Amino acid sequence: MRAEKKQFQYEIQAYQEECVNNIVNLFESLHQKAKFSEVFTAHHKKNNYSFPVKETNNIDIMMETGTGKTFTFIKTIFELSKTFGYKKFIILIPTVPIREGTRTNLEDTKSYFKSYYANEKEKEIETFVYEGGNVSAIKQFISTAHLSVLVMTPSSFNSKDNILNRPLGNDINQPELYVNNQDPPKSYLECLKRLNPIVIMDEPHRFEGNAFKTYFDGFNNYYLRFGATFPKKKDSLPLSNVAYVMDSISSFRQSLVKKIVVYTQDVVESTDTLIAIDNKKAIVSTLINGIVVKRILGVGEKFNNKSIKKINKDTIVLADDTIEKVDYSLSDQSLGAMIKETIKIHFEKEQTLYEQGIKALTLFFMESDTSLFRGDNPKVKTIFEEEYLKQYNGVLSELDQTTDYYRYLLKDFNSDNELQVHKGYFSGDKGNADEKIKEGVDEILKDKKKLLSFDSPTRFIFSIWALQEGWDNPNVFTICKLSNQGSEISKLQQIGRGLRISVNQQLQRNTLKNLNDDQEKFWKINNLDVLVSSKEQGFVEAIQNEILSNSFLVANTFTEQELVKALQEKWGFDDDTAVMLVDDVLKENKMIIRKAIVDGQRIYEKSPDFAAILKQQNLPPEQVKPLEGLFATDANTYVQKGEKKKDKKKIFIKATHLQEFQNLWNTINKNAFYILDSLNDESEKQLIKNIKTDIEALNIEEILLQTVRAELSADKIGQQGAITEKLIDTATYKNKVDYLALVRTLANNTKTPLSFIVNVFNALSTDFKSKMLLNNPEQAQREISQIINNNLLKMLKANIRYDGINATALPNVFKTESGKTYLDTGSVGKFQKDIVNDFSLKTKWVFEDVIEYDSDFELEIVEQDPDMDSIEIFGKLPRLKIKTPLGDYNPDFCYAIKGAEGNKVFLVVEAKGYKTSTDIPPNEKGKIDFAKKYFDALSEHYKDQNIKISYKERINRTQLATLINKA
């Protein structure tokens, strides 16, 4: 039986519905022969849009990158066809990746729209894609009578040499090419224009130039421009005749896109480096005392000890007439550092996302030089593979081999031991004959579902700017710019490939709603890390500025009506409350200041003292947050500078404590092994009897099948009590049990021999197996597994002993550097904190500059425990791997204590932040109990050497003095 193919799950989004409705309403007005300019003037006034109205046929829709504009314009096509009978649409897209993305979106949404428009005649769109001169797609589009779209690029027709502009020749005799009984068309492009289609332009800022305008002339119907960026050149058509705006700040505030964190990777020499020239000033980067410092220099100031004589567009001239050019290239050292950091960031988030069913993808943008990834010496590819292998092995070594994520990572290599996590797409790849390259390109461009699936090992994508716009994948969580190209392009567009909200393995979007409105969880999942080089001057600031400049609805100036509308629509206030907040709070307290009067309407701006005044109002929290969020100055909430993680320090040991700490460590760190005494027949019978007793005491509840009858009273529809429900039948549901499969599963779950489980099963009463077990086999399996494990644990504790304490010594963990002794970073804890403040036990703390710890509870112990005269030294233990049947065990703290009459007392403490000992998970508790046996054996070993070893559990707030007194 074939598995059902997964489909993307779409939900109705209010802002997309509003956009489509706006467009349909505008067409309704235009169809009623209203004047174009009057229709849009009224629409702009109603929506408080301050955009120009022009006597052109464009209708503009601004939707921020990542908010689903392709989905929106596909729905618009259906609605315009349904309401007004339009059948022909042309989607113009600027590049091949966008074309492939549009083709995929049309295919992926087909099932959704087919069910959504199930009662409509036109519930599917026939899609034709013009590529590579395949005029058959044009002919089919012309001849079909159904709702249809033609997807094409302007490069298909913006030159007289294009096939679409050549004389038709023999094709002129084909009846389908005669449109509206006019004279024979001269070219395919003319045929398309005669169809009078509605044209949709995706990414309108890319449709520039005289050639495009010349050949586009003649498409005389309305054309819809959907984009996040619109043309801004002097002779271009700007954002105008606006139907709908979802601006930058709104998309972030409404949790429609990912949060952005930008990391700047610095590899800078100690000499001055010219990284940019801005407003006749030289931006210089220098490494000073290990910190990268950016300086702004003018004429006369020193650059590498030479005065700057002149500053040009991209060069500076020094006093000795040498010329320094802005260097945008990245050294091999910089490339390596950026790739290393990106892989590290990827791994830091991947496991957490994987465990939530989300596949993490990382995108590298490169220079145009394809040989960096392809060819005989693919530098970037080689650096990536070497660095990935290092980090991959490190991650694997830390993972539990029984986890799904561990098994997932094992798929990173194919049967020939070739790494298969990375693929690339570059110009020219489309016709590449290499089967592996073609497969990778197809997966990147065409098979979004495969790329999102755990079944595919591809997680790193390399490309040049060809993937910059149009291509998208919702699960891009990390972007690394290995190129400083594209500085003239919108920064939001550059990182837009990763702004979309992610999806899980069921292709369901991780929206705020689907995450139960948990904002913190939403941002934790939907978080885009961007890595750029230090030469990307002001990358974070540029993104924030773009968000502000692209935020039209409430930006630097606004009207009272705009504020009222924002409070109603964005924050859900009723009319009276919204008006009260604007009039009685904002205006009355001069939190907004009148700036001008335009056409009789007051225009306000935000007071510079807004925040301070707001604090004085003592408003309830449910009003404070909306007022704080009214204005577009909160961009830094959504775009943050990444805090570069400091390199952890080596753990140097105080010279005064070294000998005592080494003595303590060498005393307890023994290569002991455990021995399990064999069970005799009598003991095994008793173990099986105990397990049988516990299992037969289980109460496995029956599964019931119920039938409910619901009746609708026609005279009460819409009223309470219209539906009456009655339970009319209840029946027990007996399951069938595959006993052999159950026994095998129990043996696997408990890691015990099959023969042992068979003996347990045979001991169970026939009554239990024929009645109770059948009630719910799945529940029985879970509970029986737990019972067996608990009894085995009791048996192991009773029958285990440690031996071999005088066996081979373990490797030395103490290392030296410049005469000082240290432990490796991470030896005593996952986290590290510099010692900046005094704490009671600071003088007795073993380590010099840092505290390493594994939990907040451990950190509290270090920083808050009182000093006691009896304590000589105190520290965290290096990884002391005590062997137990449940895996290696590592205790936490160690104390050397002054004993009576010169005795040595070493206290080892296991710190657990649980309220009581019974709260500790069984596996952890089991390891602790086995460790007690280990330390008992050690104490016995040293009893004639005046050394006492005490091992204690420290649960929650147990006082240190109590443990020391017991020791």
Q: Which residue has the higher pLDDT, 595 or 851?
A: 851
Long-range contacts of 541-546 (CB under 8 A, 24+ apart): 542/491, 543/260, 543/262, 543/491, 543/492, 543/495, 543/635, 543/639, 544/635, 544/636, 544/639, 546/248, 546/490, 546/491, 546/492
* pLDDT per residue as tens digits for the range 380-429: 889 999 999 999 999 999 888 999 999 999 999 988 888 999 887 765 55
CA distance 262 to 642: 5
pLDDT at 460: 93
CA distance 600 to 560: 13
C-alpha dist (Å) from residue 553 to 29, 228, 576, 580, 803: 24, 15, 21, 21, 76
Sheet with 904-912, strands from edge to edge, namely 871-876, 893-898, 904-912, 947-955
Q: Are 664 and 947 in contact (CB under 8 A)?
A: no
Q: For the ranges 12-21, 299-308, 570-579, 630-639, which has the lowest average pLDDT? A: 630-639
pLDDT at 187: 86
Position 939, amino acid: S
pLDDT at 661 over 60: yes
| Range of 89-98, 196-205, 464-473 with top mean pLDDT | 196-205
pLDDT at 706 over 50: no
* pLDDT per residue as tens digits for the range 467-494: 544 466 889 999 888 876 555 566 766 7
Q: Could you tell me which of 378, 311, 386 has the C-alpha nearest to residue 343?
A: 386
pLDDT at 458 over 80: yes
Token match 């080596």: residue? 650
pLDDT at 728 over 60: no
How buried is 743 (Cβ within 10 angstroms: 0-12 exposed, 13-18 middle, 19+ buried)? middle
What SS3 state is found at 868? coil
Q: Could you tell me which of 445, 437, 397 has the C-alpha nearest to residue 420?
A: 437
CA distance 615 to 628: 10
Domains and their CATH numbers in the chain: 14-246 (3.40.50.300), 268-325 (no CATH), 332-548 (3.40.50), 564-598+609-630 (no CATH), 651-672+805-966 (3.40.1350), 675-766 (no CATH)
pLDDT at 3: 43
Q: Are 406 and 350 in contact (CB under 8 A)?
A: no
Q: Are 773 and 746 in contact (CB under 8 A)?
A: no
pLDDT tier at 902 (50, 70, 90 boundaries)? low
Q: Which residue has the higher pLDDT, 307 or 229?
A: 307
266 backbone φψ class: left, alpha, beta (φ>0; ψ -120 to 50): beta
pLDDT at 146: 92
Q: Are 363 and 474 in contact (CB under 8 A)?
A: no
Distance of CA 482 to the CA centre of its chain: 20
pLDDT at 714: 39
Average pLDDT over residues 161-169: 81
pLDDT at 258: 83
Q: Which residue has the higher pLDDT, 114 or 429?
A: 114
Task: Tell how strand 361-365 and strand 703-712 pair up.
Answer: unpaired
C-alpha dist (Å) from residue 791 to 109, 787, 918, 925: 54, 6, 17, 14
Q: Are 198 and 89 in contact (CB under 8 A)?
A: yes
pLDDT at 143: 87
Q: What is the CA radius of gyration of the chain?
A: 36
Measured distance between the N- and C-terminal CA atoms of the chain, rounded to whole angstroms: 66
pLDDT at 81: 93
Tokens coding 426: 């570059």
Sheet with 306-311, strands from edge to edge, namely 302-303, 306-311, 315-318, 323-325
pLDDT at 553 over 60: no
Dihedral sign (CA 494, 498, 501, 507): positive
Q: Which residue has the higher pLDDT, 431 or 400?
A: 400
Long-range contacts of 81-86 (CB under 8 A, 24+ apart): 81/122, 81/147, 82/117, 82/120, 82/122, 83/24, 83/27, 83/28, 84/27, 84/31, 86/198
Distance of CA 803 to the CA centre of its chain: 49
pLDDT at 438: 63
Average pLDDT over residues 651-676: 85
Q: Could you tell me which of 827, 490, 465 has the C-alpha nearest to residue 652?
A: 827
pLDDT at 810: 63
Q: Which residues pair with 895 in a beta bridge?
A: 874, 907
Q: What share of the chain is helix, strand, coil (3-state, %, to 5)?
A: 40, 20, 40
Provide the Cα torsion 596, 598, 600, 604; round to 10°.
Answer: -40
> What DSSP letter does each residue of 835-846 carry, written as one string?
--S--TTGGGBS
Q: Could you tell me which of 915, 928, 927 has the C-alpha nearest to residue 955?
A: 915
The pTM (predicted TM-score) of the whole model is 0.57
Tokens coding 242: 């606006």
pLDDT at 807 over 70: no
H helices of 186-297, in order, are: 188-194, 210-216, 248-253
Average pLDDT over residues 695-716: 58
Q: Which residue has the higher pLDDT, 876 or 918?
A: 876
Average pLDDT over residues 603-629: 79
pLDDT at 430: 53
Task: Tell how strand 723-733 and strand 703-712 pair up.
Answer: antiparallel
CA distance 316 to 321: 9
pLDDT at 338: 84
C-alpha dist (Å) from residue 799 to 682, 756, 854, 924, 937: 14, 18, 32, 19, 14
* pLDDT per residue as tens digits for the range 330-373: 777 778 888 988 999 999 999 999 999 999 999 888 766 677 77
Residue 723's CB is within 10 A of a number of other CB atoms, namely: 11
Q: Which residue has the higher pLDDT, 657 or 595?
A: 657
3-class secondary structure for 598-630? Answer: ECCEEEEEECCCHHHHHHHCCCCHHHHHHHHCC
Position 489, amino acid: I
- Buried b vs exposed e over 10-37: b needs ≥16 C-beta within 10 Å? beebebbeebbebbbebbebbeeeeebe
Percent of the chain with pLDDT over 70: 81
pLDDT at 720: 52
Token match 């039986």: residue? 1
CA distance 583 to 567: 13
Average pLDDT over residues 689-698: 88
> What DSSP letter does each residue of 623-663 carry, written as one string?
HHHHHHTSSTT-GGGTEEE--PPPPPPPEEBPHHHHHHHHH
Q: Are 211 and 159 in contact (CB under 8 A)?
A: yes
Tokens coding 218: 């003649």
Average pLDDT over residues 933-939: 85
Q: Give 97's contacts (C-beta < 8 A, 6+ positions apart).
A: 425, 445, 466, 467, 469, 470, 471
Q: Which residue has the higher pLDDT, 550 or 559?
A: 559
Tokens coding 44: 């702009």
Q: Are 814 and 662 in contact (CB under 8 A)?
A: yes
User: What value does the mean pLDDT of the chain take?
Assistant: 80
Residue 477's CB is within 10 A of a number of other CB atoms, namely: 25
What SS3 state is found at 491? helix
441 backbone φψ class: left, alpha, beta (φ>0; ψ -120 to 50): alpha
Tokens coding 717: 């529809």
Q: Give 468's contacts (C-beta < 8 A, 6+ positions apart).
A: 365, 486, 489, 493, 494, 496, 497
Q: Are 94 and 203 in contact (CB under 8 A)?
A: yes
pLDDT at 91: 94
Q: For the ranges 299-303, 638-642, 748-752, 842-846, which has the lowest average pLDDT? A: 638-642
Q: Give 457's contacts (C-beta < 8 A, 6+ positions apart).
A: 411, 412, 420, 421
